[in-house]
Structure 1
């Protein structure tokens, strides 16, 4: 018989995934979109920031709708490559 973790630990993990993980995911997606949108820099930042509220809300819903606490943290796997593209240094940029 497998000893399951206490229920409060799963709730704390899902809450952290929703709040902290959702923020990190939203930040990575917003920065990625601001970098890759074919618009002037100021317009790209504004356009990429607009859906941030929807991304964050979606991450909160994902964290509490997922089957287990590990699956609630899964979107952070996608956030890592997005953040790498978003913050990769550009040659010749000052």
Structure 2
């Protein structure tokens, strides 16, 4: 049995709302941190990251309610968030 297949419509909707809210927040936060580390000029980079994070968050919400399987929705939000956070940590460590 596939753990990502939900047979009750209400639970599927709850999972998509949770993905939109929490997954979108994680992705937008990881984006801000990545921009703060990767772009030159700390204050300006963080400000640019925060401004663009609104677009990232809206894109995550739209993706959460796209007609794709629920597992793909979660992976499409969590994998990029983890990748951005990992790259930010790596870049911060390399900068010293």
TM-score normalised to the size of structure 1? 0.83
- CA distance in 2 between partners of 1:66 and 1:43 (Å): 37
The correspondence for 1:9, drawn from 8, 11, 14, is 11
Displacement after TM superposition at 1:87 (Å): 2.9
Moved more, 60-69 or 13-22: 60-69
Structure 1 gaps of 5+ residues are none
The structure with the greater share of residues assigned to helix is 2
The 5 A counterparts of 1:1-94 are: 5-37=7-39, 39-75=40-76, 76-88=78-90, 89-90=92-93, 93=96
- CA distance in 2 between partners of 1:53 and 1:6 (Å): 31
2:6–2:12 CA contact under 8 A, matched in 1: no
Displacement after TM superposition at 1:71 (Å): 1.6
Q: Deviations over 1:8-67 (max 9, x none)?
A: 111011011000000001111111111111x21111111111111110011000000141
**RMSD between aligned residues:** 2.2
Moved more, 78-87 or 6-15: 78-87
- CA distance in 1 between partners of 2:95 and 2:36 (Å): 18
